[in-house]
């Protein structure tokens, strides 16, 4: 090599070295910026101290029971089941992935892998499934007695309260859904239309999250397996419920039927017995609103739009419902419900032929909906002489 070529090669080498030492945006790093050294669970537990319950959104004994249920479905190599579950609960409880990776000493990809491993394990664990056994007479009787004892209602055949909720999410991508506009809510954000049923203990016994937010609650419920069963009077289980007199309570968004008790319009139209029916029906239905409030307060991930892949969002929502039930069963076993007297303290829908909307009407006539169930429940109040509080029985 001649002297000129040698000097030129040395010059270029010096320039390259200078560029490497003074890295810019496009230059590659010399070493990894973060070396993941996972901390042990005892170290993480000691670091949180008395705030561990708040970090994982449940007491430590409840957390231990949950880990034991999920252990067989989580990977046995690598991180322990306690660390994986704690990271998932911390994320669902509102923790940032940056704080989680720093507290647990893992990389970002590892944190998200643990999140989906735990959620898949929760949805696949039979002991965490929803306890909806409408064909079991003992289950129906115990569930209905819970509403009677807790609310002191004259209706002793209520199996659950049903309602829908909009679960806010980021705008879906056009490649994930047929029509992005279908998921846009009238409230001004993108969301799922989620349908759920709860019992008197604020445990969810059924939930479904497969409808767009633009879908009406009644149509969204009918598109679910439970809704299709209840709206089919020829179904064997539905026939048993009708014969035994059991029902579910919902708001005005649902169509009145023989297993769906909804309020009378306009406070009963001045009829005091219909007005009393609306009062006691609302007293049972309030449980679903309270259950939603408890769940959203616990899992802060619902406070902001879901920012996970679109196809994984329903499984995340379902897992949060199961986590809620787990906390209600174990953390709140000794908790007494508020007494009734202290409440002030602290698809397509099936209609009868005459119930369809007329050509000139914008919607169906709710006052023409036929429901023998609602009439029987109102007559029951009149037979017992039970009026809502604050109504003079002399008038």
Query: Could you give the CA distance from residue 73 to residue 28 in angstroms, rounded to a whole number?
Result: 39
Indicate the fold that domain 41-128 takes in CATH.
Cyclin A; domain 1 (1.10.472)
Tell me: pLDDT of 147 over 70: yes
119/321 Cα distance (integer angstroms): 11
Q: For the chain, how long is the longest CA-to-CA vector?
A: 119
Q: Tens digits of per-residue pLDDT, 37-54? A: 778 889 989 988 899 999
% pLDDT > 90, the chain = 35
Position 137 pLDDT exceeds 90: no
What pLDDT score was predicted for residue 163?
Answer: 93
pLDDT at residue number 64: 94
**Binning pLDDT at 50, 70 and 90, where does residue 123 land?**
very high
pTM score of the predicted model: 0.80
How is the chain split into domains, by residue range? 41-128, 137-333+369-384
At residue 14 the predicted structure's pLDDT band, cuts being 50, 70 and 90, is low
Q: How confident is the model at residue 197 (pLDDT cuts 50, 70, 90)?
A: very high
Q: Terminus-to-terminus CA distance in the chain, angstroms?
A: 115
Mean pLDDT for 187-199 is 90
Closest CA to 92 of 66, 129, 72, 71: 66
Task: Give the C-alpha distances (Å, rounded to integers) separating 359 from 181, 328, 362, 363, 364.
Answer: 27, 49, 8, 9, 10
pLDDT digits (tens, 9 = 90+) for 338-383: 333 443 333 333 333 433 344 444 444 555 566 788 888 888 888 8
Cα separation, 318 vs 333, in Å, equals 22
How high is the pLDDT of residue 268? 66
């Amino acid at each position: 090599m001649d002297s000129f070529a040698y000097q030129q090669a040395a010059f270029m080498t010096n320039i390259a070295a200078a560029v490497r030492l003074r890295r810019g945006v496009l230059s590659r790093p010399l070493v990894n910026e973060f070396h993941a050294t996972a901390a042990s669970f005892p170290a993480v537990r000691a670091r949180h101290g008395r705030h561990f319950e708040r970090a994982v959104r449940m007491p430590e004994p409840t957390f231990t029971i949950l880990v034991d249920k999920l252990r067989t479905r989580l990977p046995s190599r690598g991180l322990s089941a306690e660390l994986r579950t704690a990271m998932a609960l911390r994320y669902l409880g509102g923790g940032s992935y940056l704080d989680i990776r720093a507290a647990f000493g893992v990389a970002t990809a590892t944190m998200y892998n643990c999140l989906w491993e735990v959620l898949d394990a929760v949805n696949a664990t039979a002991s965490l499934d929803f306890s909806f056994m409408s064909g079991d007479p003992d289950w129906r009787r115990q569930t209905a007695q819970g509403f009677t004892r807790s609310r002191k209602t004259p209706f002793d055949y209520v199996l659950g309260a049903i309602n829908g909720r909009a679960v806010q999410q980021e705008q879906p991508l056009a490649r994930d859904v047929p029509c992005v506009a279908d998921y846009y809510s009238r409230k001004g954000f993108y969301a799922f239309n989620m349908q759920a049923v709860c019992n008197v203990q604020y445990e969810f016994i059924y939930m479904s999250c497969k409808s767009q937010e633009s879908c009406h609650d009644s149509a969204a419920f009918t598109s679910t397996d439970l809704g299709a069963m209840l709206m089919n009077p020829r179904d064997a289980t539905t026939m048993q419920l009708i014969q035994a007199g059991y029902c579910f309570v919902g708001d005005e968004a649902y169509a009145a039927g023989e297993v769906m008790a909804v309020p009378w319009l306009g406070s009963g139209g001045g009829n005091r017995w219909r007005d009393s029916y609306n009062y006691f029906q609302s007293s049972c239905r309030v449980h679903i609103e309270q259950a939603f409030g408890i769940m959203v307060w616990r899992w802060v991930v619902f406070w902001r739009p879901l920012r996970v892949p679109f196809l994984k969002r329903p499984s995340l929502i379902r897992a949060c419902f199961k986590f809620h039930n787990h906390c209600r069963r174990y953390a709140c076993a000794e908790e007494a419900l508020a007494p009734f007297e202290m409440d002030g303290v602290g698809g397509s829908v099936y209609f009868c032929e005459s119930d369809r909307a007329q050509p000139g009407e914008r919607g169906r006539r709710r006052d023409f909906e036929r429901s023998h169930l609602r009439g029987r429940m109102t007559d029951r109040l009149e037979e017992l002489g039970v009026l809502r509080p604050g109504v003079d029985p002399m008038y």
